[in-house]
Every structure is written in structure tokens, then in C-alpha cells.
Amino acid sequence: MSSLLELKNIKEYFPVMNARIFQKVVGYIRAVDDVSFSLNEGRTFGLVGESGCGKSTIAKVILQLEKPTAGAIYFRGKALTGFKRGEMADYHASVQAVFQDPTSSLNPRMRVADIVAEPLVINNSQNNSRSDITDMVAQTLMQVGISPDRSKCFPHEFSGGQRQRIALARALIVGPGVIILDESVSALDVSIQAQIMNLLRDLQEELNVAYLFIAHDLATVKYMSHRLGVMYLGKLLEHGPAGKIIEERIHPYTKALFSAAMPSHPDLIKEEVVLTGEVPSAFDLPEGCRFHPRCDRAMKICSEVEPDLKDVAENYQVACHLYP
């Protein structure tokens, strides 16, 4: 399996200014702190964690909306920093995104056909003619289950689920290798969510596209992902095959997070691990392991040394002093 997109030691720090007239940097919010993982062709990498854990910042870094403070992104084995203009345009065409709120994602003053065609119009490397583009728009809309007859409509004429399909069509039209799905199904109702997730899985099979599936709902991540990363305060704490993580839940935070998930049947209610305390701020991280103040198994070393990700099985890593 070839790695399509690889993140190596990505750090994203945001400077914090003091509130005086002559502003000075007084510290950094460590939104993403040394994160590495890779996306493989035709596979889904799921990223879970609570709000503020840095999962959406990672999406922004991959999408080049933010420049990483440190670290490198490799696309098809080549570092992004060394990309020439043409290669960069190619990267933009290959890495697309679908966000959470379909209302905000679609320009209300543009017709659906223009919205979907835009990435193609901007990166028109094959010099497609107008009618070619119209055909491709119709084809892509059909692929996501929207009738091409409605391509002259405006976004507000569609329901939430349909708008998310249109957003997906826009991402698909350039034939991307990677689609970043940042909470793409979170705002949808259960029945619509299932429709979109099934559509995404079918498209993956058909087009061999890789997904980065970011969500806070564990059940949807489980349904979509092949591999999984659990993030807490900017760091990957556990990282491995999705099925294995869900079964084993090695890291104490992963355990707590999964036990906090709502049961799918009243018989499956288990005594949950209730975390005490609040999530520390990413501006003022605790010494040592960033989870130790809330961890029920914290030891002395946890407040002194930050644990690294270490292999616990093949392709399975955990950052915890309890595990070698």
C-alpha cells in the first residue's frame, strides 16, 4: 500500500500577544504538537478527539490554509516545501475538502453548476472546453445523487443533506487523491448521515480516493475508518488500525473517551470512566504527559517526562508510560 500523503512531525503554534499597546508575544498556543501520520490510497484515516484537540488545525495545515510552524508534508513521496508552481497547482487539485456546515460551504450567490465547476475552472490544465465542463459537472452531480436538471438552482433551494452532496461533488470533480472530511456528517440528521456515509464509502471503492475523516462521534468514525488516531491537546496519543483500537483502547484517555460514548442499546450501558477536572488550556500545558492531571492511572513519571509514541503491536502505537 503506497502512502499518498504523509505528515512528519507537524507542529502548529499560534502566538499569543499581550493586551498592551505595543504587543509582545507572551507565549504560544500549541494547537498541534508534533503529529505524524500518513494517508494511504483508497483508505480512510479517522481522527477523533474533543473540541480544541487540534484535529481541525491539522486539516487546515494539509489544505495549506495554515503554514505549519515546523515539520513537513510529503505528497507522493515529495516534500511540499520543494514544490514548484505547477506541482503546487496539482497538489491543490489533488487534495480537496468537505466541511461541517454545508450552508457556509456553498457561496449563496453562485449557481450549483458554477460552485461545482469552480475547482475545474481554476485548475484547467487539460484546457477543457465549456461544454466539457458542463458534462463533467452533470456527471459528478449524478455521482453524488443530485439531478443535473437542478444545476441552475441556488444552494438555498436544497436541503441540508443535498447541500452536503453538492459540496462533495465540488470536491470530487477534479478527481482528487485525498478528501479531507472535517466533521462532514456531524451536522446531519441520523437518516441523512447514513445516506452520506454510504455514498462516501461507495465513492471510495469506485475512485480509490483516500479520506481523512475527522469527527467527534466515535460510532461514525468507526463505520468509516481503516486506521484511527486519537488526539488530545494537539498530540496523537494512540494510533493504529481502527478495529484494534476500538477493541483494545490502550491509552487511559482512549478508554475514557470510548466509555463516554453513548450506548446503542440500554443493555450495553457500562459504568463509564468519568474524567475529573477540565481540559487544560493549550496555552498552558502541564509538564510531562498532557493527560496526567485527569488520568486515573497517573504515576510520578507522568508529571515529569512526556511519553513518546511507541509500538505496542505492528503499526500500532501508544504514547503512555504504562506501555512499552
Partner 1 sequence: MGDNMSELLNVKNLKTYFFTKYGTVKAVDGVSFKVDKGETFGIVGESGCGKSITALSIMRLVPDPPGRIVGGEIVLEGEDILKISDNEMRKVRGKKISMILQDPMTSLNPVFTIGIQLEEAIKIHQGLKGRSLRERAIELLEMVQISSAAVRYKNWPHQLSGGMRQRVIGAISVSSEPRLLIADEPTTALDATIQVQFLRLLRELQEKTGVGLVFITHDFGIIARMCQRAAVMYAGRIVETGSVRDLFDNPSHPYTAALMRSLPKLEEKVERLASIEGQPPPLNDDIQGCRFAERCTVAEHQCRLSYPDETEISDGHFVSCWKF
Partner 2 sequence: MIKSNSPMGFIFKIFRPGRYPVIPITIICIFILLAVLGQAIAPYSANQIDLRERFTPPFFMEGGSMRHLLGTDAMGRDILSRIIVGTRVSFIVAILSLTLGGVVGTALGIISGFYGGTIDSILMRTADATLAFPIILLAMLLAIIIGPSLQNVVISLGIVLWARYARVVRGEVLSLKERDFVALARIAGASGIRIMWKHLFPNIRSTLLVLLTLQVGWVIIVEASLSFIGAGIPGPTPVWGSMIAKGRDYVTTAWWIPFFPGMAVAIVCLSFNMFGDWLREALDPRMRQVGGGG
Rule CB under 8 A: which residues touch partner 1? Answer: 50-51, 159, 161, 189-195, 197-198, 201, 216-220, 222-223, 246, 256-266, 268-269, 272, 274-275, 278-279
Q: Look at residue 218 and give the partner it binds from partner 1, partner 2, none, a contact being a CB closer than 5 to 8 Å depending on partner kind.
A: partner 1
CA–chain centroid gap for 107, Å, is 22
User: Which residue number, 30 or 294, has a Cβ lying nearer to partner 1?
Assistant: 294
* Residue in this structure with the C-alpha cell 483516500, named with its chain if needed: 210
Lay out the sheet containing 3-17: strands in order across. 25-40, 3-17, 70-75, 78-79
Measured CA to CA, the distance from residue 65 to residue 79 in angstroms comes to: 17
- CB-based burial label for 302 (10 Å; 0-12, 13-18, 19+): buried
Helix spans in 123-267 (H): 130-143, 160-172, 190-207, 218-224, 242-248, 252-259
Q: Look at residue 236 and give the partner it binds from partner 2, partner 1, none, a contact being a CB closer than 5 to 8 Å depending on partner kind.
A: none
User: Which residue number, 63 or 246, has a Cβ lying nearer to partner 2?
Assistant: 63
**For partner 2, what does the binding mask look like between residues 117 and 136, x meaning CB under 8 A?**
-xx--xx-------------
User: Which residue number, 104 or 139, has a Cβ lying nearer to partner 2?
Assistant: 104
Residue 289 cell numbers, joined: 504527559
95 contributes a contact to partner 2 by CB under 8 A: yes
Of 182, 225, 237, 176, which Cα lies nearest the Cα of 57? Answer: 182
Q: Look at residue 109 and give the partner it binds from partner 1, partner 2, none, a contact being a CB closer than 5 to 8 Å depending on partner kind.
A: partner 2
CA–chain centroid gap for 147, Å, is 29
Residue 196 cell numbers, joined: 452520506
65 contributes a contact to partner 2 by CB under 8 A: yes
Per CB under 8 A, the list member of 6, 76, 80, 89 interacting with partner 2 is: 89
Coil, strand or helix: which one is 75? strand
Q: Which of residues 145-204 bind partner 2 (CB under 8 A)?
A: 156, 159-160, 167, 170, 174
Give the binding site for partner 2 (CB under 8 A).
63-65, 89, 92-93, 95-97, 99, 101, 104-110, 115, 118-119, 122-123, 156, 159-160, 167, 170, 174
